[in-house]
């Protein structure tokens, strides 16, 4: 089945100017893009934009813990370590595979309604997360969060993570799997090396929390450069470092290492401000993520784009840095490539039709044109403008409905899970 977006604007992180086009989606891909002045191609379904709709790439939320929506609102306004140890970890102990399944689905409802097509998730009971993802037809980069604890816990978690990779990596083109050592303060160095060795042996990427707080840097016991070398993180097939708030932007990073900026979570937990402008000047791959909903508290990439762009302008007193185009690229293409999804995150013929349909027929878009669309989206737009979210050419969210999900049941089950773990 072919869908035609007739007379719509397209924008992505590679276009300095938006274009007004007819865009044809067929067999899950962007099949054709032609100028809106030409005769539109034939299609089974036609969405008539009349110049009042935009199509942009689906967002890739490059670092989150989806099921943590069940913990939203617990332990507000506390520093990271206090928050984790007193408020989060005790409640997480009560999570069952079923609670995580329904919590993840509920997070997916939020993400889909705000234009996210893919999310990078680090948590546990990831088989259930994978089933939620496949059932919905969403895309995800999944890893099992590996932490030390009782004897044998790390070994079991690693073997569980490797099983996840064996069973789900590449499934239906929707899932990639990484290994997920949690952080330097939860995984001893010896284990870091065995995890990165396992990543090399199995051809897998690694997703890791690194230097989120100043305290983490102070307690690292060595320089970040030495840590990255000694842990083997620089020699994996690829490594994604979430947060990196306290990583010096002069640090040499090889091409296989990318960073994820989580501005709202870092601000809310008072963790500091990542030196994003310097990383971008150096040409580093920096993606954008929300982190879990218990430290953000939204799973909304529009909010993340706007915050990232404004935050660094203010912090560096430079209104030119971290442009609308920069954050749009970070929120889409950079996240996709960081986590091993090819041909995703740009509006290009032949690429996957992972798209967001945006309503420009609203007062705050008056004055929008080819030159300024990206800036309108980032500075004036919001997730309330999302009309639909398409993945592989199929609507997964459209006008408030979820064709592949039972939203009502998901919310009932997620509420029950929340009640059970906070009882």
Q: Under the rule (CB under 5 A), what is the footprint of Ni ion?
A: 291
Query: Which of 34, 78 has the CB closer to Ni ion?
Result: 78
Residues 6+ apart with CB under 8 A from 150: none
Q: How far is the CB of 45 from Ni ion (least distance, A)?
A: 39
Tell me how far apart the alpha carbons of residues 99 and 420 are, in angstroms, rounded to a whole number. Answer: 9
Query: Which of 303, 361 has the CB closer to Ni ion?
Result: 303
Sign of CA dihedral 127, 128, 129, 132: positive
b/e per residue 97-126 (b: at least 16 CB within 10 A): eebbbbbbbbbbbbbbbbbbbbbbbbbbbb
Tell me how far apart the alpha carbons of residues 43 and 398 are, in angstroms, rounded to a whole number. Answer: 19
Query: Which of 148, 407 has the CB closer to Ni ion?
Result: 148
Q: How far is the CB of 148 from Ni ion (least distance, A)?
A: 17
What 3-state class would DSSP assign to 94?
Answer: coil
Q: How far is the CB of 25 from Ni ion (least distance, A)?
A: 33
Query: Which of 127, 291 has the CB closer to Ni ion?
Result: 291
Q: How far is the CB of 67 from Ni ion (least distance, A)?
A: 12
Q: How far is the CB of 211 from Ni ion (least distance, A)?
A: 12
CB 108, CB 136: distance < 8 Å: yes
Query: Which of 134, 220 has the CB closer to Ni ion?
Result: 220
Query: Which of 32, 213 has the CB closer to Ni ion?
Result: 213
Tell me how far apart the alpha carbons of residues 207 and 233 are, in angstroms, rounded to a whole number. Answer: 10
What 3-state class would DSSP assign to 346?
Answer: coil
Q: How far is the CB of 383 from Ni ion (least distance, A)?
A: 21
Q: How far is the CB of 136 from Ni ion (least distance, A)?
A: 22
Query: Which of 267, 375 has the CB closer to Ni ion?
Result: 267
Tell me how far apart the alpha carbons of residues 249 and 71 are, in angstroms, rounded to a whole number. Answer: 33
Q: How far is the CB of 122 from Ni ion (least distance, A)?
A: 6
Query: Which of 210, 402 has the CB closer to Ni ion?
Result: 210
Query: Which of 58, 180 has the CB closer to Ni ion?
Result: 180
Q: How far is the CB of 63 from Ni ion (least distance, A)?
A: 6
Query: Which of 291, 300 has the CB closer to Ni ion?
Result: 291
Q: Tokens 């303060």 map to which residue? A: 185
Query: Which of 92, 291 has the CB closer to Ni ion?
Result: 291
- Which residue has the CB atom at the shortest distance from Ni ion? 291
Q: How far is the CB of 273 from Ni ion (least distance, A)?
A: 17
Quick one: tokens of 235? 């020699």
Q: How far is the CB of 5 from Ni ion (least distance, A)?
A: 35
C-alpha torsion angle, residues 69, 326, 140, 392 (rounded to 10):
120
In the chain, the largest separation of any two C-alpha atoms, in whole Å, equals: 67
* Burial (CB count <10 Å: 0-12, 13-18, 19+), residue 319: exposed
Tell me how far apart the alpha carbons of residues 276 and 81 are, in angstroms, rounded to a whole number. Answer: 24
CB 206, CB 224: distance < 8 Å: no
CB 111, CB 299: distance < 8 Å: yes
Tell me how far apart the alpha carbons of residues 39 and 35 are, in angstroms, rounded to a whole number. Answer: 9
- 214 closest CA partner among 141, 131, 144, 273: 273
Phi/psi-derived region of residue 240, left when phi > 0, alpha when psi is between -120 and 50, beta in every other case: beta
Look up residue 275 and give its DSSP letter: -
């Amino acid at each position: 089945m072919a869908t035609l977006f007739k007379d719509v604007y397209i924008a992505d992180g590679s276009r300095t100017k938006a274009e007004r086009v007819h865009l044809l989606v067929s067999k899950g891909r962007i099949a054709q893009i032609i100028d809106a002045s030409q005769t539109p191609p034939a299609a089974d379904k036609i969405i008539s934009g009349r110049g009042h709709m935009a199509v942009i790439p689906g967002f890739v939320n490059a670092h989150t813990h989806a099921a943590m929506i069940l913990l939203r609102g617990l332990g507000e306004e506390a520093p990271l370590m206090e928050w984790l140890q007193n408020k989060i970890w005790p409640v997480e102990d009560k999570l069952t595979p079923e609670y995580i399944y329904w919590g993840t689905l509920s997070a997916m409802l939020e993400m889909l309604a705000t234009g996210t097509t893919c999310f990078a998730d680090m948590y546990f009971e990831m088989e259930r997360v994978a089933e939620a993802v496949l059932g919905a037809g969403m895309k995800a980069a999944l890893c099992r969060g590996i932490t030390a604890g009782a004897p044998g816990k790390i070994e079991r978690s690693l073997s569980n993570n490797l099983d996840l990779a064996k069973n789900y990596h590449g499934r239906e083109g929707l899932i990639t799997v990484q290994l997920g050592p949690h952080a330097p303060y939860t995984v001893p160095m010896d284990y870091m090396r065995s995890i990165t060795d396992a990543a090399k042996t199995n051809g897998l990427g690694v997703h890791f929390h690194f230097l989120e707080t100043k305290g983490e840097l102070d307690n690292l016991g060595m320089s970040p450069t030495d840590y990255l070398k000694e842990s083997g993180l620089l020699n994996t097939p690829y490594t994604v470092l979430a947060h990196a708030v306290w990583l010096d932007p002069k640090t040499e990073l090889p091409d296989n290492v990318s960073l994820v900026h989580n501005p709202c979570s870092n601000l809310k937990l008072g963790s500091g401000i990542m030196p994003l402008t310097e990383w971008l000047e150096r040409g580093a791959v920096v993606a954008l993520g929300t982190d879990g909903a218990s430290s953000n508290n939204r799973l909304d990439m529009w909010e993340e784009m706007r915050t990232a762009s404004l935050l660094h302008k203010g912090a560096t007193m430079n209104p030119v840095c971290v442009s609308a185009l920069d954050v749009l690229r970070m929120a889409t293409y950079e996240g996709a490539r960081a986590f091993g999804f090819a041909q995703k995150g740009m509006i290009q013929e032949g690429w996957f039709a992972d798209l967001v349909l945006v309503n420009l027929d609203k007062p705050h878009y008056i004055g929008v044109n080819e030159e300024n669309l990206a800036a309108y989206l980032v500075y004036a737009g919001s997730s309330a403008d999302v009309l639909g979210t398409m993945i592989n050419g199929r609507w997964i969210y459209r006008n408030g409905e979820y064709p592949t999900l039972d939203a009502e049941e998901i919310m009932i089950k997620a509420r029950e899970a929340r009640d059970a773990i906070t009882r």
